[in-house]
Amino acid sequence: MRAMVLYETGPAEAMPLTLAELPIPEPGPGEIRIRVLACGVCRTDLHTVEGDLPLPRMPLVPGHQIVGVVDACGAGADRFAIGERVGVPWLYRTCGRCEFCERGLENLCRDAEFTGLHADGGYAEAMVAPERFAYPIPPVFSDVQAAPLMCAGIIGYRALRLSGIEPGQRLGLYGFGGSAHVTIQVARHWGCEPYVFTRTPSHRQLAEDLGAVWVGRAEDDPPQKVHGSVIFAPAGTLVQHALRVLERGGTLALAGVTMTPIPPLDYDALLYWERGIRSVANFTRRDARELLEVAAQIPVESTVQLFPLEAANDALLALKHSEIDGTAVLVMDSV
């Protein structure tokens, strides 16, 4: 099978992924093999190939916003039928036994494994995954429309929950890429008023098209303070800006898997009055199920830019330079 393989990390400009022929993987006990139809390109993939994240193994096939069809089942795997369409996200497996797993916080499991990091992901024509961590795709979505939901959508959903935002309140969104353009649709479905802070003109236009009540840059002053905010961009300097316009009692959720250093914070001006900051670490299977359910109800419309599998480096470079409106999605020949 064809796959885009990371043999050595490097800047996206160096085109670090190599097109290679790999053996078709065989599913083990409790696993399914998926013929990949589409795979979204996530900023976490960019952090992976550029070496911002410690890599537990190399070589590696990135990709964790996967949509495909089941074409083989390992021993004991009976949750999905052959030919059924499924999605595989970032969370690949957890131990299921630790205190976090038992408390419903499997996203914090110390032995968790992640797709495209510990296990080969979806930048390939096939991959295997534990059936317990795969999800049926609602029929309302095409393959390429569903791909961004598998990480961008789920992590945005969890970030909304951790921000404490309630229906009718004002929500700040910082950065308007793959995750935020799905999250704003969920927020509007909940009756929230989205305020979007982004520097890219095309992203500002997309935010307006998707119903933002106000759009500006992080340095700008919105007409009113917001009750909760989510930062999607991996820039620590945004924390000061976000806290500056956060209402008393509000929570700022940081949704990135990594972030540049956060500058010193003035306690009296930015944190007092019970303002809070929370990081968003991965997500749970419950988050995934709930996001897919609400996304189908809306239904969410993903803005996608398609790339062939062999152009994965080009997609990552465009993502790095904020040239993607919505989400870049890799498609296989069969799509």
Q: Are 53 and 118 in contact (CB under 8 A)?
A: no
The residues, any chain, with a CB within 8 Å of residue 280's CB and separated by 6 or more, are 155, 158, 159, 162, 230, 253, 254, 255
Instruction: With beta carbons less than 8 A apart as the criterion, state whether 146 and 137 touch.
Output: yes
Structure confidence by residue, pLDDT tens digits, 197-212: 999 999 999 999 999 9
Residue 16 preceded by cis peptide, ω within 30? no
In the chain, where does the domain assigned CATH 3.90.180.10 lie?
2-150+283-331
- Percent of the chain having pLDDT more than 70? 99
Give Cα separations from 62 to 302, 309, 311 (angstroms): 21, 12, 13
- Pair of tokens at residue 114: 């992640």
Q: Is residue 334's pLDDT more than 60? A: no
**Tens-place pLDDT, residues 230-286:** 999 999 999 999 999 999 999 999 998 889 999 999 999 999 999 999 999 999 999
> Which H helix or E strand runs over 92?
strand 91-93
Which of helix, strand or coil describes residue 155?
helix
| For range 50-74, the mean pLDDT | 96
Q: How confident is the model at residue 335 (pLDDT cuts 50, 70, 90)?
A: very low
Q: H-helix or E-strand containing 174?
A: strand 170-174
Please answer whether residues 317 and 13 qualify as being in contact, where contact means their C-beta atoms are separated by less than 8 angstroms: yes
State residue 95 phi and psi, 5-degree precision. -70, -30
> Can you state the angle between helices 178-189 and 285-297, rounded to 10 degrees?
70
133-190: per-residue pLDDT in tens? Answer: 999 999 999 999 999 999 999 999 999 999 999 999 999 999 998 899 999 999 999 9
Tens-digit pLDDT profile for residues 10-32: 999 999 999 999 999 999 999 99
Is 326 strand, coil or helix?
A: coil
How large is the average pLDDT for residues 218-231?
A: 97
CA–CA separation, 40 and 319 (whole Å): 11
Where in the chain do CATH 3.40.50.720 domains reside? Answer: 153-279
Task: Give the angle 303-69-25 at the CA atoms, nearest 5°.
Answer: 115
Q: Does domain 153-279 correspond to CATH entry 3.40.50.720? A: yes
The structure's pTM equals 0.93
Half-sphere exposure of 138 (CA within 13 A, CB side): 19
CA distance linking residue 66 with residue 210, whole number of Å: 24
Which CATH code is given to the segment(s) 2-150+283-331? Answer: 3.90.180.10
